[in-house]
Copies of this chain bind each other. A is one copy, B any other.
């Protein structure tokens, strides 16, 4: 731990980060009981933790699992990450209770675009913030590499299938080798052979029908759902025509998503171990065949193994530290509006073991509780089986006034709505009031009483941004109280529950989320969406949870509707399958899967001098 000396006024995030020399990362790892052979350093201040920790500690009891979520934010965000850090600094550096914060690695798109970094801020942040915000240990790049290998492999296969006869294709895929001229199947072909029910080991023994089925993925270009990705805000890549001017092959329209919103990232975030990662990658559906509309998977394309190899290190969470020297595990990616957008199951599970029964893992889910929290529970907790002990909803007077178009009382409905949503999952709910210098006493009190009125166990002012963990000690005490068995029974929450069972059909799930969580009156479907939902139910994906893509700026699908809109309709425009991640994504309203840059992006501020000192990141 490190004792902070907080300055007033609070310097810039980058200044704070640069003025505090971090502890060697081994000094963060050791008190957690991580063995030296279980960590790979990446420079002095960060390391990756081996997954073997989970095996070694499989019998240890889990700590308390706390989710930090928020009200519907303004475009600048309301400080969820600072609350995660402030709260865990309060536990770890002020109350002497073991704690780990689990955060997502920021995307370099927003870092250089409009939002800036995502390391928290003020005296509640991760250091070195430059490392946190730039590349980190390369996980997002690895996700991009795996994603784009699959995209190239798919297009390549289509190209060669269209140019070559069955004989040519067979000779190239299974060439005669060695002095005996023997053909063999490659390792990456075995998955498809198994799916086709072919058990012969000798390619020459396939029947003509089997050979045809083995050779021809027969992908319908119109069916392809797999896109390429980059970790940059680049609206020109939303829709592109690839393959122009090739002598062979045909151009086709496709597009790029931002890497962190890719299915590969979700696979990594939801995988329980390396074997599960490999299996999920193989299940990724990239499109379907012309004849019969059979799904074509990454396993069929033959590169799921290579994708897993590209992700082998990315699957290990990265350990860093807060400004007060408390541990932070960084893993997986953000963008809870268009992705599931939570830190990884592996990092949370590792954290829960490492902090021990008395300890606390504090994690966050992106944007407002309507998207981040809903997905955290219905998608992530459903997949991991982990049960949260309490939810913290971050609220600011500034944002609630924004929701009330200047009048706080008229904006409180947004906070009240999110509190009631959290209680539907039967989790003790606490409001963290992220205090800003200009907030009046009346406003704070008003926010407190509205919180309690809506069912929150407590509503606590926090000043962790100016004061570090000391400013969140009251919040930590409220969280601790909420996690006692007595509090849970007194509050009659009766224990965590999911919003819907697996068995509910997909349309039922969408409607449950839209009505119970967004407050919609009705749900409509485009014919495209309806067809896709029906096809997914028939194909056996009806048991998947839904992971809606929706604006984060409103409870509704219209970003201009503030507060807690009523009588609105949710329009399901499209539906996508993420068979590897294990969810179905209804696309609600207009939502972009790769952002653009504004006129005056943050990169204008950023530079480095000849000695390596960075300026202008925040």
A interface vs B, CB < 8 Å? 40-44, 48, 108, 112, 130, 134-135, 137-138, 141-142, 144-145, 148-149, 151-153, 155-156, 159-160, 164, 169, 172-173, 175, 186-189, 228, 230-246, 249, 253, 273-275, 278, 302-303, 305-306, 308-310, 312-313, 596-612, 614-617
Contact = CB atoms under 8 A, between A and B. Distances in A.
A156 B601 contact: yes
Nearest to A40: B43
Given A236-B243, A240-B240, 15 more contacts: A112-B149, A134-B309, A135-B142, A148-B234, A156-B234, A156-B599, A156-B601, A159-B235, A187-B605, A188-B604, A228-B237, A236-B246, A236-B249, A275-B610, A305-B608
A610 B615 CA distance: 43
Contact of A608 (B242, B312, B616): B312
A151 to B, nearest CB: 7
Contact of A152 (B40, B134, B172, B233): B233
9 contacts: A141-B144, A148-B232, A149-B603, A152-B236, A152-B597, A159-B596, A239-B245, A278-B608, A306-B602
Nearest to A307: B603
Contacts of A600: 172-173, 175, 186
Contact of A44 (B40, B137, B232, B239): B40
Contacts of A302: 603-604
Contacts of A612: 274, 312
A153 B43 CA distance: 30
Contacts of A235: 155-156, 159, 243, 246, 249
A108 B609 CA distance: 31
Contacts of A605: 186-188
A177 to B, nearest CB: 11
A230 B229 CA distance: 10
Contacts of A607: 187-188, 278, 305-306, 308-309
Contacts of A312: 134, 608, 612, 614
The 10 residue pairs across chains A and B that have the minimum distance between CB atoms? A305-B607, A275-B610, A141-B141, A188-B604, A306-B603, A152-B234, A172-B599, A40-B43, A186-B604, A239-B244
Q: Chain A at the B interface: mostly helix, strand, loop or mixed?
A: mixed
A604 B270 CA distance: 25
A142 B611 CA distance: 19
Contacts of A155: 234-236
Contacts of A239: 243-246
A4 to B, nearest CB: 25
Nearest to A164: B599
Nearest to A138: B138
A597 to B, nearest CB: 4
Nearest to A276: B610
Nearest to A617: B309
A238 to B, nearest CB: 7
B313 A601 contact: no
A242 B244 CA distance: 11
Contact of A188 (B42, B130, B234, B603): B603
A238 B246 contact: yes
A106 to B, nearest CB: 13
Contacts of A596: 156, 159
B240 A244 contact: yes
A243 B240 CA distance: 6
Given A142-B135, A604-B188, A306 B112 contact: yes
Contacts of A610: 273-275, 278
A240 B274 CA distance: 35
A187 B134 contact: no
A604 B152 CA distance: 13
A309 B240 contact: no
B599 A169 contact: yes
A614 B278 CA distance: 12
A252 to B, nearest CB: 8
A255 to B, nearest CB: 8
Nearest to A234: B152
B187 A616 contact: yes
Contacts of A609: 275
Contacts of A175: 600
Contacts of A313: 135
A244 B246 contact: no
Given A42-B41, A610-B275, A187 B604 contact: yes
A76 B302 CA distance: 23
B240 A242 contact: yes
A144 B228 CA distance: 14
A598 B130 CA distance: 40
B138 A135 contact: yes
A609 B312 CA distance: 10
Which residue, A41, A173, A237, has most C-beta atoms of chain B within 10 A? A237
Contact of A305 (B164, B598, B616): B616
Which residue, A172, A246, A597, A611, has most C-beta atoms of chain B within 10 A? A597
Which residue, A43, A598, A611, has most C-beta atoms of chain B within 10 A? A43
Nearest to A231: B145
A58 to B, nearest CB: 15
A278 B614 CA distance: 12
A155 B308 CA distance: 34
Contacts of A188: 603-607
